[in-house]
Amino acid sequence: MFGPSHRRLLATAAVIGASALGVAACGSSEAKNSSAKQTTSASATDSSAGKETLIVYSAQGYSPNGVKAFEKETGIPAKLVENSTGPLLARIQAEKASPHWGLFWVDGQEPFASLDEQGMLEKSLEVPKLTSLGEKLVPADRSFVPTGITLACAVVYDSKEVASPPTNWQQLTESKYAGKIGMNNPAVSGPTYPCVVGVMSYLGSEAKGKEFFEKLKSNGLKISETNGDTLHLLETGQISIGLIQSSAEIGAAEKVKGLKVAFLPKETVLPSNIGVDANASPVVREEAQKFINWVLSPAGQHQMQIGDPTGDSLFWTVASNTSPLPALPSLSTITTQQVDPYTWGKKEAAINKWFSANIAE
């Protein structure tokens, strides 16, 4: 995990970089590495094989397994750059004139929608056979492809402290939960921006959503930077309820006695997605398409499911050839909603800036 001072630096860089460049620094789950791995350009050539290196920017906990297995099984050289979504997006924007990435793999559709509207993503990607929900998550121009589904912010709670968890969003603002709720800052934690705008959508408007988060703050809401930080507060008794990504919650409940997960009405669907650099060479674009096909094959899905077994691996599948892990409840038992990534993607920088200034501080 990132150290506190390092995370604060990353958060500041992400917010400032994204605001200056017109894109918010968030949209996906947190990477495990303490710093981004430095790599060469996405057009770097493997002279021994005559192939170009596919450089993968990712915040997925299972991406080390996936990239390594893909390289081994296909013979295509691949290098991984890991970090939280915010810093990765800021880096992509900083490299806009000369991209160093070939493939982007994180949670959340909003960042991809923003990159798409800037002309930075390859369109008309080939999409392998998906479930019916998976097909609904593919944009009309096929500029990014879903690889799995989590939920943006369910409720994880300490059952020793909370006998009956809240059953709707409004109950979270009640006085009995004063100082007992924690969540992440969307400017750093990728899954949190879809959570924030999902609440806004559910309540009917951006203004009503802001009012809701202001009430949470006045009631003692504690803000962290990553899922691990919020879970630490929960596990050490500093809070009783966490609002974070479902995969992290289910994983924590599997490991820590007394932690349980509850789902509120209209949980926001949070797909993991892959996008490809529109300015990459034809060879790299072809390799990236092969990576997409492989990730959605049984072999690739297997690596996703074993790569982070108490974290990002706890996703509902969109590949029609794979079933979710047993720890996951049936998605059909949970009421969900999808938010329009192109509508909310445009607002990401502004909403994250507002949240950081008014809720996180």
In whole angstroms, give the CA distance from residue 240 to residue 166. Answer: 12
Q: pLDDT value at position 183?
A: 98
In the numeric block, which tokens belong to residue 190? 């990728």
Query: Can you name the CATH fold of 4-150+271-339?
Result: D-Maltodextrin-Binding Protein; domain 2 (3.40.190)
Q: What would the pLDDT profile of 54-72 be if each residue is shown by its tens digit? A: 999 999 999 999 999 999 9
Check whether domain 154-268 has CATH 1.10.3720.10, yes or no: no
Looking at residue 50, its pLDDT comes to 59
| Contacts of the segment 132-139: beta carbons below 8 A, 24+ positions apart | 133/269, 133/318, 133/331, 134/318, 134/319, 134/320, 136/338, 137/109, 137/269, 137/271, 137/318, 137/338, 139/109, 139/112, 139/113, 139/341, 139/342
User: For residue 190, what pLDDT is reported?
Assistant: 82
The Cα 119–Cα 100 span in angstroms is 16
Residues of each domain in the chain carrying CATH 3.40.190.10: 4-150+271-339, 154-268
Please say whether the beta carbons of 223 and 213 come within 8 A.
no
- Give the model's pLDDT for residue 49: 52
Taking 50 as the pLDDT cut, the residues of the chain under it are: 1-48
Residue 308 DSSP symbol: S
